[in-house]
Structure 1
Amino acid sequence: MGNYSGEASQDEALYGRIGRRLVPFLFLCYVVAYLDRVNVGFAKLQMQADLALSDTVYGLGAGIFFLGYFLFELPSNLLLARVGARRWIARIMVSWGLVSAATMFATGPASFYLLRFLLGVAEAGFFPGIILYLTYWYPERRRARIVALFMSGVAVAGVLGGPLSGWIMKAFAGAGGLHGWQWLFLLEALPAIVLGLWTLVYLDDGPAAARWLSASDQAAVLAALAADGGRREHMPLLAVLSSARVWLLALIYFLFVMGLYGVSFWLPQLIRNTGVSDVFEIGLLTAIPYGVAALAMIVAARHSDRTGERRWHAALAAFAGAAGLLASVHYGQHTMLAMAALSLATAGILSTFPIFWSLPTAMLGGTAAAAGIAMINSIGNLAGFLSPYLVGAIKDATASTANGMLMLALSLLLGGVLVLLSTTASGEMR
């Protein structure tokens, strides 16, 4: 018993050291990635009038990012597996930083569409690449909480990004002859370029290349991963692309992403609809739902790892997200009640993701993991194109965002039901 406790203690110490080395850095990279992806939601508050963009045009431009993302996601992840995580993640970050900064030069719908599309091309492969990279270090039983810590970057980007974006747009408006939204794109792109260059120095391609681990520690990590590998499939690429299980997971992810980006790209507008007009105050208020979500997703993922249960955790989170969206419609004219509802919605939606990603990473290994993760993420993220566009089109047609929020709630409900009906706790399809 004493020997077992000693081994367990050593194991925890090892993964604690790995976590302290990798998670803060990857988390910071994801904060920057998500901020550069969705800061267009804040820019909208000023650039829409400056560029004469309708809500439909804005929604299409916000979402067209995901068409470029979709087209280049799978090849990007396969290249990461081939050339190594360190160099490929660095390339992704520097290129998306440059394109994000260039969005300050948008002059109308056409250039707005082009730059958003190119941003998707540049960033394609980052998120699934990190998910794949974490499978190089962590066995399945530890993965949900690590993915939750990494993905809490979405929530923290909301907490920090809202006030920061509002402040930049207000404080820099007119400086150097530029609008506040132009400064927003420029200043928030610079960290991506800096972190991308630092990635070349800081990251290792895997445990075997990590000089900060001893030979015995490297062997322990690789042994834990090898034990997982016996339960995962190493399918040929064509088999992955035609797998009914992978397609079903992609559909479920699509439905969850509908909710995520519907809220992400429209949250500032939803808060404005309650009667708040100052952009800095709107930025501060957006921090509240994301702050609640950061805590909720870590708690949910830790509980899921501790119990080993995945599907009910993911489904209940999706149902909570749907309930929050429905309540936000009902209380849309009352700022405090609407903020409570949007906090529930954001917490529920974000809590689905780290638990969801435990399913394909437990099921697939090797090249199948690189291809399967990228395929699920790229197809799922097409909802990032469709969701903001539909919300914008519905708003233009009905002069209200309420019906758009109802659509997103139905998507989350269906995704939760499919998780319960179609997946076992271990990630295998019935």
Structure 2
Amino acid sequence: MTTADQRDIDVDRLFRRVTLRLVPFLFICYAAAYLDRVNVGFAKLQMSSDLGFSDTVYGLGAGLFFVGYILFEVPSNTILHRVGAKRWIARIMISWAIISGAMALVTNPTAFYVLRFLLGVAEAGFIPGILYYLTLWYPAHRRGRVFAYFLAAIPVASIVGGPLSGWIIESMDGLLGHSGWRWMFAIEALPSLVLGFVVLMFLDNSVKSAKWLTDREQAVILAEVERDRERSSTLHLSFMAMLRDPKIWLLSGIYLCVALGIYIVSFWLPTIIAGTGVESLFAIGLLTAIPYSCAVAAMILNSIHADRTGERRLHAAIPCLVTAAGLVVTALGMGNTVVAMIGLSLAAAGASTTQAAFWTLPSAFLGGVAAAGGIALINSVGNFSGLLSTSLVGWLSDLTGSTISSLYGIAVLLAVGAALLARLPAHVVDDPSRVARLEKEKAGVGRR
């Protein structure tokens, strides 16, 4: 399509239409996925006493999710690249819903460990698969806020899921002779199961297969995405060349640090709040909504500013430092609910904002199969932190009787991650338009 042919198409309006079509649906799918992943944090408050699980048993079981996830994530994303998003995302959602619902049948540590591992296998590839899928639809300068809208499903799922999980556990405890935590697992698996079948009817594999777009609209979107690819010589790496790229491994190490903040908040937030003296499960659920409400606002505002300026590194590094500070405040305020909630709000806002900003970095220099594999690899390595944070925190909690030492240790690692983020080369991760503008300004200064 020629430039003249595209003049009568409002590109901004077209991308708003794409966003309204894709992002709310993917947001709902991810919210359901994340709820099924982390509702074990609420189940712990009743399940541990029912089944006699120590914090070490809970931490190991929660962490085994990530073993399955890590082992199968890269293969899962490469299969998605080959067979298309529609079938593969549907397969992921339906299988994890069945396994998540089966958590209601757990009676001993072995069953807990096996099902958590299988849940990780089932869900492997979902997040990086969706992030890769979105790179097929959006050029770099539009991805920041789109990624943030999608990843906002994490705090929103927690805002809704916290009170919901607490209410189900308390109100349905003893119904038909079953504990409340069993009802919670069974009920909260249903949305994912239904959505898995909806994916098959609703999701398009690519821009070209979207029948709700005209041929001209498809051409405009593909031209916008291709224009970004032409500006970078690294976008067309093969999968093996991607594995040899040191930037991929640096980003993997950074995400290992970043994800520590995400998962300590996700899996231990209810326990930390309970440790400050709050006893009602429903009240704990309501209190968990406060940090995640802060997270939604922070991550969207940060991403809008990042898209506007084209700068990416500091928009990830500064929130990472905020997460570290929040964990320190939480540790200092463990005896005071108000102070701990301030710290948890800082930590949740910083962690969610960092995650959304981080995922614009690899997509800035990867495309095609390298993007599918690279994003999955980074997420896999980063998710070792899920195993580390849940297992280590559980063990230290049993050893010391408190999560305080864990909070300080993870805060230090988050500060390391922030320092590494700030040292990433701007010309690699910032938006191409910003890099070109800065180079032009530098050339102008040199001539003067």
TM-score (norm: length of structure 2): 0.93
| Change in CA separation of 1:113 and 1:190 when aligned onto 2, cut-off 3 Å | same
| Greater Cα offset, 205-214 or 225-234 | 225-234
Partners of 1:338 and 1:399 lie apart in 2 by 17
* Alignment check: 8 A CA contact 1:259 1:411 kept: no
| Change in CA separation of 1:99 and 1:165 when aligned onto 2, cut-off 3 Å | same
* Alignment check: 8 A CA contact 1:394 1:404 kept: yes
Partners of 2:244 and 2:179 lie apart in 1 by 48
Partners of 2:144 and 2:332 lie apart in 1 by 33
Are 1:396 and 2:398 matched, yes or no?
A: yes
Query: Counterpart of 1:355?
Result: 357
Query: Counterpart of 1:409?
Result: 411
SS at 1:275's partner residue?
A: coil
| Change in CA separation of 1:76 and 1:405 when aligned onto 2, cut-off 3 Å | same
Partners of 1:414 and 1:424 lie apart in 2 by 19
Q: What's the offset of the Cα at 1:411? A: 1.6
Q: What's the offset of the Cα at 1:354? A: 1.4
1:302 alignment partner AA: I
Q: What's the offset of the Cα at 1:263? A: 1.2
2:391 alignment partner AA: Y
SS at 1:207's partner residue?
A: coil
1:367-386 pair list within 5 angstroms: 367-386=369-388
* Alignment check: 8 A CA contact 2:80 2:88 kept: yes
* Alignment check: 8 A CA contact 2:27 2:151 kept: yes
Are 1:127 and 2:166 matched, yes or no?
A: no
Partners of 1:388 and 1:307 lie apart in 2 by 37
* Alignment check: 8 A CA contact 1:310 1:425 kept: no
Partners of 2:79 and 2:193 lie apart in 1 by 20
Query: For the pair shown, which has the larger CA radius of gyration, 1 or 2?
Result: 2
Q: What's the offset of the Cα at 1:9? A: 8.0
Are 1:180 and 2:180 matched, yes or no?
A: yes
Percent identity over the alignment is 52
Partners of 1:285 and 1:354 lie apart in 2 by 23
Q: How many equivalent residue pairs?
A: 425
Deviations 1:377-419 (A, max 9, x none): 1111111111111111111111111001111111211110011
Partners of 2:397 and 2:411 lie apart in 1 by 16
Deviations 1:44-73 (A, max 9, x none): 000001111111110111111000000100
* Alignment check: 8 A CA contact 1:62 1:388 kept: yes
Partners of 1:33 and 1:102 lie apart in 2 by 15
Are 1:227 and 2:248 matched, yes or no?
A: no
Are 1:325 and 2:327 matched, yes or no?
A: yes
Partners of 2:358 and 2:129 lie apart in 1 by 16
* Alignment check: 8 A CA contact 1:237 1:371 kept: yes
* Alignment check: 8 A CA contact 1:246 1:376 kept: yes
| Greater Cα offset, 221-230 or 87-96 | 221-230
Partners of 2:9 and 2:194 lie apart in 1 by 37
* Alignment check: 8 A CA contact 2:63 2:386 kept: yes
Partners of 2:427 and 2:45 lie apart in 1 by 43
Partners of 2:260 and 2:426 lie apart in 1 by 23
| Change in CA separation of 1:343 and 1:9 when aligned onto 2, cut-off 3 Å | farther
Query: Counterpart of 2:255?
Result: 253
SS at 1:205's partner residue?
A: coil
Q: What's the offset of the Cα at 1:7? A: 5.5
Query: Counterpart of 1:273?
Result: 275
SS at 1:137's partner residue?
A: coil
Partners of 1:402 and 1:331 lie apart in 2 by 10
| Change in CA separation of 1:308 and 1:8 when aligned onto 2, cut-off 3 Å | farther
Partners of 1:163 and 1:141 lie apart in 2 by 36
* Alignment check: 8 A CA contact 1:74 1:375 kept: yes
| Change in CA separation of 1:49 and 1:423 when aligned onto 2, cut-off 3 Å | farther
* Alignment check: 8 A CA contact 1:94 1:193 kept: yes
| Change in CA separation of 1:45 and 1:8 when aligned onto 2, cut-off 3 Å | farther
Query: Counterpart of 2:189?
Result: 189
1:96-111 pair list within 5 angstroms: 96-111=96-111
Structure 2, gaps ≥5 residues long: 431-448
1:48-127 pair list within 5 angstroms: 48-127=48-127
Partners of 1:423 and 1:300 lie apart in 2 by 20
| Greater Cα offset, 257-266 or 331-340 | 331-340
Query: Counterpart of 1:43?
Result: 43
Partners of 2:99 and 2:176 lie apart in 1 by 21
Query: Counterpart of 2:433?
Result: none
* Alignment check: 8 A CA contact 1:310 1:426 kept: no
Query: Counterpart of 1:244?
Result: 246
Deviations 1:5-45 (A, max 9, x none): x9598111100100100010000001001100000000000
Query: Counterpart of 2:217?
Result: 217
Query: Counterpart of 2:389?
Result: 387
SS at 1:206's partner residue?
A: coil
TM-score (norm: length of structure 1): 0.97
User: 4+ residue runs of structure 1 moved beyond 3 angstroms?
Assistant: 6-9
